[in-house]
Structure 1
């Protein structure tokens, strides 16, 4: 019996492992499953590294913004998260925005304000496709939530460029990346050692640069994460205290009511009548 149980459990574990890690013909079409990276915000009580968010926005601004937009993030969103209000105001004023109409009914150009969105690299989708050989660079506002694997997938994708294996041909203008479904991706590798100089002196290795920009993109997709975990922690503590109080009240105030016994003690001289009650008056 023991041998049968061990065989059944071992077979079940083996089948589960093969199902989760099976090699199949569509593996390249689906893309490799990314490994799990130790981002602090992924932990139960972990929060964002805000210094990393600041560095990540620098990477986005100097590298990613040449092709990708960030439509759902406004300059004001960066205030108090990675930059001061004065710093964000200066960065916004570096860009010109079309506004109007003025008193003459004409549109005009003005410096950016805190209420403006992060500027797009292209005026419209057609211009973006024309500049990228027909490929449309996706908006990165929600990219970590829009891709299976989240931050792990984005990190693996940005660091996973390599030469194609033997027998795999990549069309001209495409690049091989095993984590991208199909293996061929239009975006070339853009992150290398030293591509960005961090103002705080952080080593600018490719892995560090990728970690910072992925952290920034994760914040852009979930800016409420820190507050949500803070509220959740308070709720857990509050309900834990209320549960403890409820158990104490149950144990020490209701035990007399819950453990009582109702009994009837007849009088000692009480006698049961022998026959039916008389009907005579």
Structure 2
């Protein structure tokens, strides 16, 4: 026979009422101190959940904001590694486009060795910059060519200079930007490729640019990339989507340089567990359980 939806709903509420009645009866027989403690925990939990919901609603952007879609990144698989050719191209994008405004103060030239460049190539890249060092034997500061241990140069000497050069907006450091933004590389990719004209009825202040993926939809950064914004050393066509994809892959590696090593370690653990788990199960089920459940009876001699 068929059970109607009404019967299912009535049965569900009947079971729920029964369990609530049992809980109420058990609660009433508890000592006074325990009742107060449980009530306090319930109030704090409910209040915390309500506060979290209010904060979530308050920081949620307006209806005009778009949430970034989930893109099929090649490194999202359980056993997939980062595209190191894309990391190399992404560094080129950062160097020629992004580094004019954004710093990466937690990344040193030596971090590129064995990942996207050879040691000789990285030494050449580092020597292209001038680093203020010192003091020397006479107590004076001096400049020298960069070396592997130096960190990426900052475009501005201090935050105030950065704000003054960008109409009051402070360009964020990109070292961990992928991990610091909800959506990760999906958000960064959508932001870079999402510039468009504002819809009818929406006005943007002078010096700002409309981007539906940015909270508030008005961003102080001009569209940084476009088709053929640069020429890749390996001859890859520098379309807007290709440039955005490469720099996002580079930023993912910068935020999580242990990405590939972590997945290799996980694969080793899975391979080891596939051997150890059956062995442990056999010992527990057929060896230890027999010893644990045996009964030793003492029979005194007559």
The bucket for the TM-score relative to the shorter chain is 0.7 to 0.9
Matched position secondary structure for 1:137? coil
**Does 2:217 match 1:190?**
no
Equivalent of 1:128 in 157, 162, 166: 162
Deviation string 1:153-175 (CA, Å, 9 cap, x unpaired) is: 11111111111011000000000
TM-score, scaled relative to structure 1: 0.83
User: In 2, distance between residues paired with 1:216 and 1:191?
Assistant: 15
| 1:175–1:186 contact (8 Å) kept in structure 2 | yes
Q: Distance in 2 between the 1:29 and 1:114 partners? A: 47
**Alignment partners' CA distance in 2, 1:47 and 1:127:** 39
* Alignment correspondent of 2:205: 171
Alpha carbons of 1:102 and 1:155: their partners in 2 closer, same or farther (altered >3 Å)? same
SS of the equivalent of 1:44 reads coil
Mapped pair 1:152 → 2:186: yes
State the 1:36 CA deviation: 0.3
Matched, 1:61 2:91: no
Partner of 1:247: 281
Other-structure match for 2:111: 77
For structure 2, list consecutive stretches of 5 or more residues without a partner in the other structure. Answer: 11-57
Contact 1:30-1:180 within 8 A present in 2 as well: no
Aligned-partner SS, 1:41: coil
Q: What residue in structure 2 maps to residue 101 of structure 1?
A: 135
* Structure with bigger gyration radius: 1
Q: Distance in 1 between matches of 2:77 and 2:125?
A: 32
- The structural deviation recorded for 1:5 is 8.2
Could you state the TM-score of these two structures normalised by the residue count of structure 2? Answer: 0.77
1:112 aligns with 2:146: yes
- Matched pairs, number: 255
Asked if the contact 2:64–2:212 (Cα under 8 Å) also holds between the matched residues in 1, the reply is no
Deviates more, 1:111-120 or 1:258-267: 258-267
Q: Secondary structure at the match of 2:62?
A: helix
| 8 Å Cα contact 1:68/1:121 also seen in 2 | yes
Q: Which moved more, 1:134-143 or 1:232-241?
A: 232-241
Give 1 or 2: higher helix fraction.
2
Aligned counterparts of 1:83 and 1:73: Cα–Cα separation in 2 = 14
Q: Cα RMSD over matched residues?
A: 2.7
The answer to whether the Cα contact below 8 Å between 1:32 and 1:178 also exists between their aligned partners in 2 is yes
Secondary structure of residue in 2 paired with 1:153: helix
